[in-house]
Chains A and B, each alone.
Chain A
Amino acid sequence: DAKTTQPNSMESNEEEPVHLPCNHSTISGTDYIHWYRQLPSQGPEYVIHGLTSNVNNRMASLAIAEDRKSSTLILHRATLRDAAVYYCILKSYNTDKLIFGTGTRLQVFP
Chain B
Amino acid sequence: EPEVTQTPSHQVTQMGQEVILRCVPISNHLYFYWYRQILGQKVEFLVSFYNNEISEKSEIFDDQFSVERPDGSNFTLKIRSTKLEDSAMYFCASSEIFGGETQYFGPGTRLLVL
Contacts and interface: CB of A to CB of B under 8 A. Distances in A.
Interface of A: 32, 34, 38, 42-46, 49, 87, 91, 93-102
A96 B33 contact: yes
Contacts of A93: 99
B75 interface: no
Interface string B89-114: 00101010011011111111000000
Name the prevailing secondary structure of the A interface residues.
Answer: loop
Given A43-B106, A43-B107, A46-B101, A100 B95 contact: no
Given A94-B99, A96-B33, A46 B43 contact: no
A49 B102 CA distance: 9
Given A95-B56, A96-B33, A97-B58, A38 B43 contact: yes
B82 interface: no
B44 interface: yes
Given A44-B43, A102-B42, A97 B105 contact: no
Contacts of A94: 99
